[in-house]
Amino acid sequence: MIAVEGVVKRFGAQTVLDGVSLAVAPGEVVTILGSSGSGKSTLIRCINGLERLDGGRITVDGLDVADPRQLAQARRLSATVFQLFNLYPHMTVLRNVTLAPEVVLKRPRAEVEAEAQALLASVGLAGKADAYPAQLSGGQRQRVGICRALAMNPRYLLLDEVTSALDPEMTAEVLAILGRLAGRQMGDGGTTMLFVTHEVEFARRISTRIVFLDQGRLIVDLPTARFFADDGGLAHPRIRQFLSKMAPSNTVAGAEVTV
Amino acid sequence: MRHAGFTWHDGALLAQGLGVSLGLFAGTFLIGLVLGSGAAVVRHFRVPALSPILHAGLELLRNSPVLVQLFLVFFGIPALIHQPLAPLSAAGLTLSANTAAFVYFIAVAGLDAVGRDQVEAARTFGFTRMQVVRHILAPQAAAFAVAPLVGLAVNQLQVTSLVSVIGVMDLTKAGDILNLRTLRPFAVWTMVGALYFAAAKTLTLLGNRWERRLRAHAAPLEL
C-alpha cells in the first residue's frame, strides 16, 4: 500500500502540493488527472523520494520515504517510468534494463539478461538489445523505459506522463503495452500502477480509480465509473471544464486493451 | 677546449634523457589523474571541510607557475624539514600535484555535464550515490573529459622539461650537457625538440584513438 497523508510540498513561495492524501492498495490502477502545474508529477516525485516533503508523510508498505534507510528499501518496491525516458545514453538497451537488477538487487547477470531479453521481446524490441538509446525512436525509448522498470519486478509501478513526449502513433504503441500490463495485473495482486497522464480515454479504460488534482489539492477521488458519472466526478465544475478541454485529444490513442 | 663531434654515446645520453622525461610524465600524470578525479568525486559528494579545502588548494596549484611550485618544493621543503630532497622526488611531487589540479577541474566539468535526469532515474531504482557515480556519472564524465585530458597530457609532457633546472637528468638536461660539450646548439636543440615532438605526437594519436573508443559508447550518432 502506498499511503500519502497530508503531503505539503513547496518550491520557494509556491505551494505545489497542499495537503494531499491518497492511498493506493495492491492491485489497483490509479490515475491522477489534472492540468499542467497541478502537482501531479511532483506527487510522483515525492513518492519515489526525489523531492523532500515540507509536510505530511508518505509510506510505501509502511516504509517512510522521508527516512533515508527506509527510502532505500521502499525504492526496491516501486519503479518509475519517466516522461523523458531518462535512459542511460552510454549503455545499450539491454544494459539499461539489466543494470539495476544486477547492481541494486545483486542478481546474477545471466539470469537478469535472460529475463531482460524476454521483456524486450514482449514489447517488440527483441532486435534492439544491442542498440543505444540515441538510435531508437521516442516510442521505442519509452518501451525500454518500461522494461527497465519492470525488470525490477516492482510491486508498484509509477508512471509519470509517459506518453507526453511522444507523437500519437508512438503514444498508441506505448499505451497498448501499458493496457496489456494493467489488464494482466487487475485482480491478481501483481504490479500496482499509479499513473499520471493526459490520456483521459485511456485512463478511463484501464483505471480502477481516478483522482483529480487541482492547484495542489486533491479534489476528487472516485472509482472510474463514478468519476465519469454525471452525479459523480462530472458534477464538479472544475473537472467538467478540464474534460471538455481534453476532448479533442481524448480519443487519440486507439490502444487495444486486451484483458 | 676540444670541440668534439657527435658520438654514439650522445645517442645513448639523449635516449636516457627521453626515458627519464617519459617516465616522469607517465608516473606523475597517472598519479595526478587518480588524485584529481578523486578530488572531483569528493566535491561531487560535497564532503564537509575536505571538499572546500581541496578545492582551494587545487585552485592555488592551477593558478601559479609550475616553475615556482618546483622551486618551492625543491628549495622550500628541505629548508622547512632540514632534510635534502632529491631532484627527482621534488619533480615527481610537484608535477603530480600540478597535474591533479588540472585534472580536478576537467573532471568536475565532466561530472557536471552528465544529465540530472539519468541520475534521478538511477536513484529511484535504488542505486546508492556511489553506485550512481560508478555506473552512470563516471563513464560519461570520462567521455566528456577525454579530449581536454589528452590536451593536458601533451602539455604536461612538455612541462617536464622544467625539471632540468633543478638537476633532473631528463631530455632537456641531456640536451644541455650535449650542447655544452659540442657547442652546436642549433643541431642539439633541434634534435631535442624533435624528440619531444615525436613523443607528444604519439601521445595525441593514442589519445585520439582512446577518445574515439570512449565516445563511440557515450554518444552514439544522433538520429
The CATH number assigned to the domain with range B8-217 reads 1.10.3720.10
Question: Count of A–B CB contacts within 8 Å?
Answer: 72
Residue B8 sits at the chain A interface (C-beta within 8 Å): no
Q: Of the candidates A119, A153, A187, which is a domain's last residue?
A: A153
Find the mean pLDDT for residues A201-226.
92
Closest CA to B144 of B119, B174, B171, B110: B110
With beta carbons less than 8 A apart as the criterion, state whether A120 and A130 touch.
no
| pLDDT of amino acid A253 | 44
Query: How many angstroms away from the CA of A26 is the closest CA of chain B?
Result: 20
Decide if A257 is inside a domain.
yes
Do the chains contact at B120 and A50, CB–CB below 8 Å? Answer: yes
Tell me the pLDDT band of A182, cut-offs 50, 70 and 90: confident
In terms of domains, do A72 and A110 share one? no
In terms of domains, do A164 and A238 share one? yes
Total domain count for chain A? Answer: 2
Do the chains contact at A78 and B124, CB–CB below 8 Å? Answer: yes
Decide if A241 is inside a domain.
yes
Q: Is the pLDDT of residue A150 over 70?
A: yes
Interface test mutation site (partner A, options B120, B123, B125, max chain A beta carbons within 10 A)? B125
CA B208 vs. chain centroid, Å, equals: 17
| pLDDT of amino acid A251 | 45
**DSSP at A212:** E
In terms of domains, do A106 and A166 share one? no
| pLDDT of amino acid B72 | 96
Which residues of chain B fall short of a pLDDT of 50? Answer: 1, 220-223
Question: Is A243 in a helix, a strand, or coil?
Answer: helix
Q: Of the candidates A153, A168, A201, which is a domain's last residue?
A: A153
Chain position carrying cell 573532471 = B107
Show residues of chain B in contact with A134, CB under 8 Å. Answer: 219-223
Among B124, B135, B221, the residue with its CB nearest the CB of A75 is: B124
In terms of domains, do A92 and A142 share one? yes
In terms of domains, do A175 and A224 share one? yes
Among B127, B139, B221, the residue with its CB nearest the CB of A100 is: B127
Residue B127 sits at the chain A interface (C-beta within 8 Å): yes
Decide if A82 is inside a domain.
no
Longest dimension (CA), chain B: 78
In terms of domains, do A99 and A43 share one? no
Q: Of the candidates A129, A153, A177, which is a domain's last residue?
A: A153
Do the chains contact at A89 and B140, CB–CB below 8 Å? Answer: yes
Decide if A226 is inside a domain.
yes
| pLDDT of amino acid B221 | 44
| pLDDT of amino acid B178 | 93
Decide if A235 is inside a domain.
yes
In terms of domains, do A9 and A117 share one? no
In terms of domains, do A132 and A252 share one? no
Nearest chain B Cα to A91, which residue? B217
Query: Rounded CA gap, A187 and A203, in Å?
Result: 17
CATH of the domain at A235: 3.40.50.300
Residue A84 sits at the chain B interface (C-beta within 8 Å): yes
Domain that residue A225 falls in = 1-77+155-259
| Helix intervals (H) in chain A | 40-47, 68-74, 93-103, 109-122, 138-150, 168-185, 200-206, 224-227, 237-246
In terms of domains, do A183 and A245 share one? yes
In terms of domains, do A147 and A159 share one? no
In terms of domains, do A99 and A213 share one? no
| pLDDT of amino acid A254 | 44
* ipTM score: 0.88
Query: Rounded CA gap, A252 and A172, in Å?
Result: 8
Residue B116 sits at the chain A interface (C-beta within 8 Å): no
What are the boundaries of each domain within chain B? 8-217
Query: Rounded CA gap, A231 and A236, in Å?
Result: 9
Question: Is A192 in a helix, a strand, or coil?
Answer: strand
Among A78, A90, A134, the residue with its CB nearest the CB of B140 is: A90
What's the whole-model pTM score? 0.85
| pLDDT of amino acid A173 | 86
